[in-house]
Amino acid sequence: MRIAKAAGFAWTSDIIGASVFAWGAASALEAQLQGTAGIAAGAALMLLGGLLRLASQYGAQVIGFDAGRALARLRRGELFPRLLAIAGPSAPALGATATLGIDHVAAEQARAARFDPVRKSATLAPVLVVLVVALQSRVAALILFLTLIPFVIGMILAGGAARQAADRQMAAITALSALYVDRIRHLPIIRHFAAEDRIARQAGGAAQDVAERTIAVLRAAFLSSAVLEFFAALSVALVAVYCGFSLLGLLPFTPPEQLDYRAAFFVLVMAPEFYLPMRRLAAAYHEKQLGEAAEKALEEVPEPVPRPAASSQVALRDVVVAWPGHRIGPISFELGARGLVCVTGPTGSGKTSLLAAIAGQVAPSEGMLATLPAEAIAWAGQVPLLLPTTLDDNLLLGRPDAAATDVAEAARAVGLDALLARRADGLATAIDHHGAWLSGGERRRLGLARALIADRALLLADEPTADLDTASAERIIALLVAEAQKRAVIVATHDERLAAAADQVIAL
Amino acid sequence: MLGFVAAFAAGVGGLVLLALSGWFLTAAALAGASGAMAIAGFNYLIPSAAIRGLAVVRTAARYGERLWSHEAALHALAGLRSTLFARLAHAEGRSAPDLASGDASARLIGDIAALEDLVVRRPGIPAAFGTMLIGLGAVALAGWLAALLLVAVLALLLTALAALPPRLSAAPAAEAAEATARLRRMLVDYAAARNEIITYGLADRVTALLVAEADRLDDAQRKLARIEAASSGLLILASALAAATTLLSSAASPPLTALAMLAATASIEAVAAIARSSAREAAVAEGTERLRVLLALPAPQSEPTVAAAPATLGLDTADFAPGSRIALTGASGSGKTQVIEALAGLRAPAHSLTLGGTAVAALPGAAICQQVALAPQEPMLIAGTVADNLRLARPGIDTAAMEQALRTAQLWERIQRMPQGLDTMLGEDGGILSGGERKRLSLARALLADRPWLLLDEPTEGLDSATEAALVAALRAWLDARGAGLLIASHRPVPLALAQAQVPVERVAPAAG
């Protein structure tokens, strides 16, 4: 990606401003030392250097943000459809969906914005510093370069251990957090058994334990930053001592160059810049860790299941839908072009998952399942989808070209006509994704009306009578019975009146 | 304290290293230019040794600072975690902050982690101020005017950084928080309607809506990133400015001027640490406030737990003596679970319920818990081993008691077959167990609590009839042996046969008021 490279170059260009500043400072001090004019010119160069560094650092951070944003946009574009296209028990839960789609993408974004550009400049910028320094003093450049060798060895020795230690620390803290989340979620049952003190002691012990272990781990982790600090300080000290002795003419060897004061001071001010990019890299390491963990979590989002081969009718033979800890079935039934099938069972028994399997959205783990092609299925959900557009558009999601008379007819059939009459704009009334002014029952009716307007051969309805008063529920039951004369209808419900009206009842 | 000393030593070490190097270089140049006499008279051993020594001191101090500040922060935060948890655990269950959703508890963890970062940085702030002052002292060697100008630059910089970023970022920060909340709600709402999105092929359309909202979030965050970038740019410019003013206004010899100039840049660097900390502090302010609210919960008071005498159980007008076996009947959704959870102290009662003649709503949570043991409809298992879950019931449970309870719950053979037996890790919410097995583990836990009343909500849901019959028989034997009372809610005839009396839930009147 070009923009990611640009951010790396922007960080590297910081060296230009640093060089201008160092040259200005060296010139001004030399002028003062020799009592010549040029102090003001040097000071002006210093300020120019400061301005250039401001521009580089500002630019690098803003371009870095844009690089992160470009990556996040790419991720969202492929992640969101995937998160929405997996149904049933293997799909991430609602809260987890939000965590994946927001927090994990943000962690990857932060890594691309802060860590990746700095990493690029950590290889380029030190080379540039050595080159700039070499223009004034080849020996000082050699000194900087030579400190790099023990530094690299030190980093290989301490850095590998530190990286492992940092990763282990993060794993330990993640585990501790998971323990706390679990215990806090289960506080009601902990209080019920009067186990507050015992669990609090256990949780507190775990926290202290992790703190102790983390400190042990940090000793190793900080060793690598100590190596970095040491060579950063050592390179400054060695350059200072070399330049000082060179100016005094006291070097124990004959230098290959004649160093003047300006060159010496320039080299001294540039020396800390040599290790600065690597220090920036170390500071952004946490972003790298979080970004990698997030990337892994995003890779684990399951792929949507392939659709079963299309058939002309619904037929299940010994179908089992299973996921860790749960198992529905075996279930067998057939439904022709017409008829009403009710799937019943208590909450959490897997009615919606079975419906999703019949819709071809969840793969059964055992048995044979035949169903209609996707275009022949309509679904009226428990919490129907609402897009932030008009009521009319929402009703037309299943068949955008439906006739206005069909829409009005369906709205009347599900009992939305009273609601429409109350609204000045009728079908043109705007709604938001949350359905702010719709009750749960009204949302459900809207979902059912949409499924009717879609006019498909198979109608699946999930708890169509929940949240409705007796009269409304009976109206919906009558409607479903009438629809079952025209098409195949499968309903998940725990409403006994609805089950009583069915041609077949599948109890889970 | 150690953290502060080390941070201070590291900051000053860095400052002196650079400043002394500048002085040494300039003095060496002067001496070098003045001929052999001057060179002979120039003491180069002490400064050059000091420079090398400072490199070591600075490294060691920085290492110590990191380690000590993290050590202090980690212990402080571990303490905070325990305190917070104890406060939350001891809060009255029916009125405590609701943290049952994974989201709320995860946010709590996030708040604590953000605070940890803040505590780690804390000793750095006074140390940075100290370094700044030392730098100012070094600049004063170049004359009072240089020092005054540095004070002016520092004051200007600190005021600008304290005033501008918070003011400029307030609006985009609020915008970003709002956009995040909106995006979260949208994702949750749309994920709840997945089946319809797949059915009608709307994934692309919904994605476009979500991406548009995410774009608004990114726009706000880009503004924040620009403010942060401008602040760090301002620091680097101020550093150049301070160096230039020091140089121009210096009244001292060239070596001292060089020293002062480099000290001035180092003292601005110290300001950068302060600015980063205060930016961080502002970023986590909301989370810190949330934690403060929780810490304001009353401290737990340890009350001596006395084994309570079995109390009578009142369902509306009907009173049941200890040891009675009652079935609560009614269609699903009619409120059986509500009655049972209210009797267990898990929720505020909506029905007229009494224990020992006192309304359940008026009893403290602890008093309720001494009377009843619940095996809830949702098994409510904690992450940990089988034994961890069983030990929750009461202190001092041994392996033999666990085995006996698991045998009654018809789960012993299954647990025994597991490679680690009672020490098998279950994972979140019972992880590796099936739905029916989780319920039976939850039942075994309730049996181990050994309370006067056993509350069972659909205990045999999802069991085959042979296991169900065995479980009910074992349960009957257990009740006979202990003389404990039973309140059971079930649709199924076999467990309902345990009861001597049936109470339709519709007959239990709603609580007055």
- Residues of chain B with Cβ-Cβ distance to A57 below 8 Å are 229, 232-233, 236
% of chain A exceeding 90 in pLDDT: 38
Does residue A140 contact residue A239 with C-beta atoms inside 8 Å?
yes
Q: How far apart are CA A69 and CA A329, in angstroms?
A: 46
Q: How far apart are CA B239 and CA B244, in angstroms?
A: 9
Chain A residue at shortest CA distance from B73: A211
A266 touching B (Cβ < 8 Å): no
**Would you put residue B380 in left (φ > 0), alpha (ψ -120 to 50) or beta?**
left
Residue in A196, A324, A388 closest to B90 by CB: A196
> B288 and B188 in one domain?
yes
Mean pLDDT, to the nearest integer, of B374-399? 88
Q: CATH number for the domain including B396? A: 3.40.50.300
Most confidently modeled range among A293-307, A454-468, B193-207, B353-367: B193-207
Q: What is the pLDDT of residues A102-120, one digit of tens each?
A: 888 998 999 999 999 999 9
Q: Which long-range contacts (CB under 8 A, 24 or more apart) does B202-206 make?
A: B202/A385, B202/A387, B202/A397, B203/A80, B203/A81, B203/A84, B203/A85, B204/A81, B205/A387, B206/A80, B206/A84, B206/A385, B206/A387
pLDDT-derived band of residue B101, with 50, 70 and 90 as boundaries? low
Q: How far apart are CA A421 and CA A167, in angstroms?
A: 61
Residue in A57, A355, A447 closest to B229 by CB: A57
Partners of A265 in the beta sheet? Answer: none
Residue in A86, A98, A225 closest to B187 by CB: A98
Mean pLDDT, to the nearest integer, of B76-94? 78
Domain count, chain B: 2
- Residues of chain A with Cβ-Cβ distance to B381 below 8 Å are 186
> B290 and B339 in one domain?
no
Asked if B199's CB is within 8 angstroms of A379's CB, the reply is yes
Work out the burial of residue A313: count CB atoms within 10 Å of its CB; fewer than 13 is exposed, 13-18 middle, 19 or more buried. Answer: middle
Q: How far apart are CA A454 and CA B163, in angstroms?
A: 58
What six digits make up the tokens of B441? 């583990």
Does residue B352 contact residue B390 with C-beta atoms inside 8 Å?
no
Q: Is residue B59 part of a domain?
A: no
Q: Is residue B60 part of a domain?
A: no
Does residue A182 contact residue B428 with C-beta atoms inside 8 Å?
yes
pLDDT at B272: 82
| 3-state SS assignment for residue B359 | strand
pTM of the model: 0.80
Chain A residue at shortest CA distance from B372: A192
pLDDT-derived band of residue B513, with 50, 70 and 90 as boundaries? very low
Chain B residue at shortest CA distance from A51: B237
% of chain B exceeding 70 in pLDDT: 91
Residue in A54, A182, A380 closest to B237 by CB: A54
Picking from A11, A35, A227, A24, the residue whose alpha carbon sits closest to that of residue A117 is A11
Picking from B141, B47, B93, the residue whose alpha carbon sits closest to that of residue B342 is B93
Strand pairing category for B501-504 and B325-329: parallel
Q: How far apart are CA A184 and CA A202, in angstroms?
A: 13
Torsion of CA B292, B294, B297, B303, to 10 degrees: -130
Residues 435..454 of B with a Cβ closer than 8 Å to A: which? 435, 438, 445, 449
Torsion of CA B340, B344, B349, B354, to 10 degrees: 90
Q: How many other β-carbons are positioned within 10 Å of the β-carbon of residue B502?
A: 11
Residues 358..387 of A with a Cβ closer than 8 Å to B: which? 359, 361, 374, 377-387
B225 is in which domain, residue-wise?
Answer: 75-295
pLDDT at A11: 93
Asked if A32's CB is within 8 angstroms of B257's CB, the reply is yes
- Residues of chain A with Cβ-Cβ distance to B228 below 8 Å are 61
> B457 and B375 in one domain?
yes
Strand pairing category for B485-489 and B453-457: parallel
Picking from B168, B353, B141, the residue whose alpha carbon sits closest to that of residue B257 is B141
A188 touching B (Cβ < 8 Å): yes
Asked if A261's CB is within 8 angstroms of B392's CB, the reply is no
pLDDT at B334: 67
Q: What is the pLDDT of residues B30-43, one digit of tens each?
A: 888 888 778 877 78
- Residues of chain A with Cβ-Cβ distance to B21 below 8 Å are 236-237, 239-240, 268
Q: How far apart are CA A356 and CA A350, in angstroms?
A: 10
Asked if A180's CB is within 8 angstroms of B109's CB, the reply is yes
Cα angle B233-B239-B244, degrees, rounded to a multiple of 5 = 130
Q: CATH number for the domain including B239? A: 1.20.1560.10
Residue in B74, B200, B345 closest to A192 by CB: B345
What six digits make up the tokens of B392? 């929750």
Asked if A247's CB is within 8 angstroms of B226's CB, the reply is no
pLDDT at residue A171 tops 70: yes
Picking from A204, A211, A168, A169, the residue whose alpha carbon sits closest to that of residue A183 is A204
Element (DSSP H or E) covering residue B353: strand B353-355
Q: How many residues in total does chain A contain?
A: 508
User: Is it true that A2-299 and A314-507 share their CATH fold?
Assistant: no
DSSP A91: S
Residue A186 CA, chain-centre distance (Å), reads: 27
Asked if A94's CB is within 8 angstroms of B370's CB, the reply is no
> B290 and B325 in one domain?
no
Query: What's the whole-number average pLDDT of chain A?
Result: 87
Q: Which long-range contacts (CB under 8 A, 24 or more apart) does A283-289 make?
A: A284/A114, A284/A115, A284/A118, A285/A115, A285/A166, A287/A107, A287/A110, A287/A111, A287/A114, A287/A115, A288/A111, A288/A115, A289/A166, A289/A167, A289/A170
Residue in B180, B186, B392 closest to A195 by CB: B392
pLDDT at B120: 75
Does residue A384 contact residue A444 with C-beta atoms inside 8 Å?
yes
Q: How far apart are CA B471 and CA B461, in angstroms?
A: 12
Residues 71..110 of A with a Cβ closer than 8 Å to B: which? 72-73, 76-77, 80-81, 83-87, 91-99, 101-102
Q: Is residue B218 part of a domain?
A: yes
Asked if B58's CB is within 8 angstroms of A233's CB, the reply is yes
Sheet with strand A314-323: strands edge to edge: A326-335, A314-323, A366-370
Strand pairing category for B313-315 and B318-320: antiparallel
Element (DSSP H or E) covering residue A189: helix A187-192
- Residues of chain B with Cβ-Cβ distance to A236 below 8 Å are 17-18, 21, 55
Residue in B32, B75, B193 closest to A385 by CB: B193
- In whole angstroms, how far apart are CA A364 and each of A369, B15, B208? 8, 69, 31
Residue in A239, A243, A447 closest to B196 by CB: A447
Asked if A386's CB is within 8 angstroms of B195's CB, the reply is no
Does residue A86 contact residue A57 with C-beta atoms inside 8 Å?
no
Whose tokens are 């001191």? That residue is B57
- 3-state SS string for B307-325: CCCCCCEEECCEEECCCCE
Residue in B88, B237, B394 closest to A187 by CB: B88
Query: What's the whole-number average pLDDT of chain B?
Result: 84
A438 touching B (Cβ < 8 Å): no
The amino acid occupying position B131 is T
Mark which of B268, B295, B322 sits at the end of a domain.
B295
What six digits make up the tokens of A397? 């999601």
Q: What is the pLDDT of residues B412-426, one digit of tens each?
A: 988 888 888 888 888
- Residues of chain B with Cβ-Cβ distance to A98 below 8 Å are 103, 183-184, 187-188, 191
Q: How far apart are CA A500 and CA A495, in angstroms?
A: 9
B140 touching A (Cβ < 8 Å): no
Phi then psi for residue B504, to 5 deg, are: -70, 135
- Residues of chain B with Cβ-Cβ distance to A42 below 8 Å are 247
Q: What is the pLDDT of residues A272-317, one digit of tens each?
A: 999 999 888 888 887 888 888 889 888 988 888 888 888 888 989 9
Which of the residues B120, B153, B198 would you substitute to probe the A interface, choosing the one with the greatest number of A C-beta atoms within 10 Å? B198
Q: What is the largest CA-CA distance in chain A?
A: 107
How is domain A314-507 classified at the CATH fold level?
Rossmann fold (3.40.50)
Picking from B328, B370, B272, B186, the residue whose alpha carbon sits closest to that of residue A101 is B186
What six digits make up the tokens of B501? 């009396």
Q: Is residue B66 part of a domain?
A: no
Which of the residues B178, B187, B303 would you substitute to probe the A interface, choosing the one with the greatest number of A C-beta atoms within 10 Å? B187
Chain A residue at shortest CA distance from B98: A185
Asked if B78's CB is within 8 angstroms of A210's CB, the reply is yes
Asked if A101's CB is within 8 angstroms of B210's CB, the reply is yes
Closest Cα of chain B to A240: distance in Å? 6
Mean pLDDT, to the nearest integer, of A346-374? 85
- In whole angstroms, how far apart are CA B236 and each of A497, B151, B233, B269? 75, 16, 5, 8
Torsion of CA A232, A233, A239, A240, to 10 degrees: 150
pLDDT at residue A327 tops 80: no
> B354 and B265 in one domain?
no
Mark which of B295, B328, B344 sits at the end of a domain.
B295
Is omega for the bond preceding B304 within 30 degrees of 0, making it cis?
no
> B269 and B182 in one domain?
yes
Q: What is the pLDDT of residues A84-104, one digit of tens each?
A: 988 877 787 777 788 888 888
Work out the burial of residue A500: count CB atoms within 10 Å of its CB; fewer than 13 is exposed, 13-18 middle, 19 or more buried. Answer: exposed
A41 touching B (Cβ < 8 Å): no
Q: What is the pLDDT of residues A396-440, one digit of tens each?
A: 998 999 898 999 999 999 988 888 888 888 888 888 776 667 777
Strand pairing category for B358-359 and A366-370: unpaired
How is domain A2-299 classified at the CATH fold level?
ABC transporter transmembrane region fold (1.20.1560)
Does residue A232 contact residue A279 with C-beta atoms inside 8 Å?
yes
A213 touching B (Cβ < 8 Å): no
Q: What is the pLDDT of residues B423-445, one digit of tens each?
A: 888 866 776 676 678 889 999 99
* Domain ranges within chain A, ordered by starting residue: 2-299, 314-507
Mean pLDDT, to the nearest integer, of B256-262? 94
Closest Cα of chain A to B456: distance in Å? 14
> B317 and B291 in one domain?
no
B89 touching A (Cβ < 8 Å): yes
Range in A162-176, A482-496, B224-238, B264-278 with the lowest mean pLDDT: A162-176
Q: How far apart are CA B75 and CA B83, in angstroms?
A: 12
A248 touching B (Cβ < 8 Å): yes
Query: Which is higher by pLDDT, A212 or A47?
Result: A47
Q: How far apart are CA A499 and CA A82, in angstroms?
A: 35
Q: Is residue B370 part of a domain?
A: yes
